[in-house]
Amino acid sequence: MENAFYFVVDENYLPMAAAQAYILAGFNKFDVHVFVERNNKGIRLEDLVPDQILKSERIFYHLDKLECFLPEGLPESQKWPSIVYLRLFVPDLLKNYSRLVYLDADIAIADDPTVLFDIDIPTTIAAVHDYGILGETIVPFPGVEYTTDEWLGGIGLEGCRYFNSGVLLINTERWSQLEIQRLLSKYFDQFGHRVTMFDQDFLNYTFKNDWTELSPRWNFQTSLFDYGFEHEFKPVVVHFTAPLKPWNGDFYSYQQVYLSYFALLFKQLQITLPKPATRPRQRYIKRMKTAVRRLLLRLGIQFRRERVQRRIWGRYHGLAHDFLGDALEKGLFADFSEAPILGEPKVFFDGHVVRTANLEDTLALLGPELVLPRHSHSKESRPFDKLAAAQSFREEEDHCEA
């Protein structure tokens, strides 16, 4: 195999990464590597990952291999702990592959991603624009507001487009020519006082003239949900970029589809659901309020919330529609040879948010298409066996310690 996917997680996100790794391995067309950097060194893989996933012949697990590469003094926070930098060192450990795809763990595979490796990219990486920053202003910290241009300039990205780093297609040969540790230290010495998304800001700066843009289908972010764009850009990787995650029982939109999907997925793989991010009472109150609004809407009662939500929906849909239309017109998406026509969906208020009126079509598109595990996890076409892989990583570990 020439290509592979990889995740970098701690023990908290390991169940999600393991589930999606098992799905990817089921396509039997590439390898999957899961790097686990434990906060609690006493936790074993067997404690968190079911045996059937651990025994998959196409998935490699690596414990605590990356932290030793991390330079000292890099900024971190509760939202952006030091583990976010560790994915930057993986390509140098997986040189056997010509291309790698890094994936955040808060994703769902919605279709066969094999064709991603066939996209021609003349650059070191390919990625999808970050659709959460389309507005004229950005608030990186509470009480601090910049124009988008000011914010980009402050992190060294004057006049640049800004990608989301949750899905990265990587040319390993070109990446290996970089001195990541030196570049990290240099960047944060210069811009550390203004960074907001730490490793993602660094990646955007490092590759500001060396990245190829992909369409949203390869990193379909939460900020694009409810706007109807999934019909023009059929998602392959769905990325839950919002703070609330569907496996915790909280989500902004299409809630039942994703809740049902993850409930079924974890049940099928015998994975214990992570602890919810919010208390059950909070979720119950929110759902009850939404249910009451829906009932009153049927009686013809209007809500101020609906008017506010419609304004918010219209503003962001306009920004995204114009941005996508411009990108298509200029041919910026490397995976699109013919530009689709962007439609204007009808919308309705569901008691909580405004979303597309063709919701049933959208659910039919996204729901059943979310991929559940396959049974094909064969040993065929392996680039190297597990003993050889283990030896390779022992050598890398010795090099790191040296």
Residue 395 in this model has a pLDDT that exceeds 70 = no
Mean pLDDT of 319-323: 93
Confidence class of residue 61 from pLDDT cuts 50, 70 and 90? very high
The arithmetic mean of pLDDT across residues 14-37, rounded, is 93
Residues 164, 199: Cα–Cα separation, whole Å:
11
Q: pLDDT at position 341, please?
A: 81
pLDDT value of residue 187: 94
Answer whether residue 277 shows pLDDT above 50: no
**Does some domain include residue 21?**
yes
321 vs 146: which has the higher pLDDT: 321
73 phi, psi to nearest 5 deg: 85, 10
Cα–Cα distance between 274 and 14 in angstroms, integer? 10
- Decide if 122 is inside a domain: yes
The number of distinct structural domains making up the chain is: 1
Residue 30 lies in a domain: yes
C-alpha dihedral (335, 20, 201, 38), degrees to nearest 10? -160
Phi and psi angles of residue 229, each rounded to the nearest 5 degrees, phi first: -75, -15
Assign residue 151 the CATH number of its domain. Answer: 3.90.550.10
Contact 179, 130 (CB under 8 A): no
Residue 42 lies in a domain: yes
- 44-53 contacts at long range (C-beta below 8 A, 24 or more positions apart): 45/14, 48/11, 48/14, 48/15, 48/18, 49/14, 49/15, 49/18, 49/271, 50/18, 50/269, 50/270, 50/271, 52/22, 52/269, 52/270, 53/18, 53/19, 53/21, 53/22, 53/269
User: Could you tell me what percent of the chain has a pLDDT over 90?
Assistant: 43
Confidence class for position 57, pLDDT limits 50, 70, 90 = confident
Residue 23, pLDDT above cutoff 90? yes
Q: How confident is the model at residue 295 (pLDDT cuts 50, 70, 90)?
A: confident
DSSP string, 91-139: TTT-TT-SEEEEE-SSEEE-S--GGGGGS---SSEEEEE-TT--SSEEE
Q: Please compute the mean of the pLDDT values over residues 70-76 and round it to a whole number.
A: 86
Residue 74 near residue 82, CB atoms below 8 Å: yes
> Does residue 354 form part of some domain?
no
**64 within some domain:** yes
Q: Is residue 328 part of a domain?
A: no
pLDDT value of position 363: 54
Give pLDDT tens digits for 332-365.
999 987 878 887 888 877 777 787 765 555 555 5
Cα–Cα dist 222/366, whole Å: 13
Domain that holds residue 69: 3-277+360-401
Report, as an integer, the average pLDDT of 193-220.
Answer: 93
Confidence at residue 390, expressed as pLDDT on a 0 to 100 scale: 41
pLDDT of residue 251: 56
Nearest-CA neighbor of 222 among 164, 280, 305, 144?
164
